[in-house]
Structure 1
């Protein structure tokens, strides 16, 4: 009898999980607005990191002194700072405002780390140590890398891992993670958005270009993710792609992000 009860409860759980996920229209709109805001924030952080690295490594005075870097929001700026190789001091600071490609303020005076910079450094160092352990199965396929974006989350921190690549004509969707940690980098929660890497190519082998792309999400991740938006905004400009969509099996809906208009909406008739 106990075995029958256990089997019944197990099957009930499976059936409940397999039922369609229900959200009201207002809940979906609020969720999409939140995802788009987070995705744009991740993009502004990673773009500042890209631009700062390009500038700093061309500076003959500091390029050989550079160690790790940190990117965060400070008042009206998105700021990228470079630590010395020992990680004890900040040796360069680049501040970006209003989506600027070129920093509006640069500071090359050596200084101590601020409280937020100490926290970010601790989070980054401890997570990198965790990622480096093969047993934790956090990595990227050959030809791809993982980039770290950390943002405050109440008293804790969110750290996103998004894929990167130097390959041309490809948008590296998938293989993205989210870790919630305390300010010392202790992992409190973790999540993987996609089951694998989903590279999307801007043109096929015959040179035919696409204007949009689509992929599906796991049922337990029913919405398009902030990492999707960030990755697309970073790499789509190197292709002719201007929008992408995600089909949600859990919600039986298709969400479309338009980079030109910076909109995230439900597509009623995607096909």
Structure 2
């Protein structure tokens, strides 16, 4: 483990672009951070709204978005009216949230979020690609960035001591907000424990990617790592595939390397370390 941590430390001393031949780590990282902001807003917004809104049967759903830099969680009724707007400061502190429970119409921008969310939900209810496992639920996360409309679907768990990766999906839309494509980002669901019976508290984690289109770390991976970092304390995380090794750290730095380059570099570093140890032993 110490050897792995040494390799990670060396990697993060180099510019990301030098390790990223495809030059897509920045885009993946930014998308993951955007997902995190949306999910963090929804996590906190849901708790606040449920505590303050009493007519539970009237709730139709929710979504979150950035409104001129302000994170907002929007709750709507079954009659498609906004019934709650929870606004947060940049630190997402629930104590500083602004609560507006007045009923109103969607803004034009909110209408776009609502439309793709509902169209995604309709597809989820009628497409067998979507799976739900025991003690989990699927979170719908609409995202509009650079005029591109997407919905990510993430798996969340009600079980403690676990972080869920995988069983996630990406839904894209055409100009009419109709579903254009649905795809899986991972081949399966990966459950990683925060505290392991044999080794105690885990300090990092790793999983593999096999889907050809998603060989690097995914935005959903980054979102999940950021959401649970305060519970896991993980300083780094790695995904491995035939093409790429992706290494994320808790400072939200991301390095993506070709797998062959990563293997060559680690073998060289370990060989040099072994040679150095042998020399030091001979000098004793």
TM range (shorter): 0.7 to 0.9
Contact 1:36 1:226 in 2 (8 A): yes
CA positional deviation for 1:179: 0.9
Equivalent runs, 1:87-98 vs 2, <5 Å: 87=80, 89-98=81-90
1:265 aligned onto 2:220: no
1:171 aligned onto 2:168: no
* Greater helix proportion: 2
Aligned twin of 2:47? 54
Q: 1:250 aligns with which of 231, 238, 243?
A: 243
CA positional deviation for 1:269: 3.1
C-alpha distance in 2 between matches for 1:54 and 1:246? 32
Aligned twin of 1:70? 63
Task: Rate the CA distance shift 1:121–1:245 in 2: closer, same or farther, 3 A.
Answer: same
1:229 aligned onto 2:222: yes
Relative to the length of structure 1, the TM-score reads: 0.81
CA positional deviation for 1:25: 4.5
1:197 aligned onto 2:194: no
Aligned twin of 1:241? 234
1:186 aligned onto 2:183: no
C-alpha distance in 2 between matches for 1:225 and 1:174? 10
Instruction: Tell me the alpha carbon deviations over residues 58-107 of structure 1, each in whole angstroms, 9 at most, x when there is no partner.
Output: 115555543211211211112111112322x2121112232323254332
Q: 2:203 aligns with which of 211, 215, 237?
A: 211
Task: Rate the CA distance shift 1:207–1:54 in 2: closer, same or farther, 3 A.
Answer: farther
User: Does 1 or 2 have the higher relative contact order (CA < 8 Å, sep 6+)?
Assistant: 2
CA positional deviation for 1:165: 0.7
Task: Rate the CA distance shift 1:182–1:71 in 2: closer, same or farther, 3 A.
Answer: farther
Equivalent pairs counted in the alignment come to: 243
C-alpha distance in 2 between matches for 1:164 and 1:202? 15
C-alpha distance in 2 between matches for 1:202 and 1:85? 38
CA positional deviation for 1:249: 1.1
C-alpha distance in 1 between matches for 2:125 and 2:89? 34
Structure 2 unaligned residues grouped into runs of 5+: 1-16, 257-261, 271-284
C-alpha distance in 2 between matches for 1:185 and 1:143? 32
Structure 1 unaligned residues grouped into runs of 5+: 1-23
Aligned twin of 2:25? 32
CA positional deviation for 1:184: 5.2
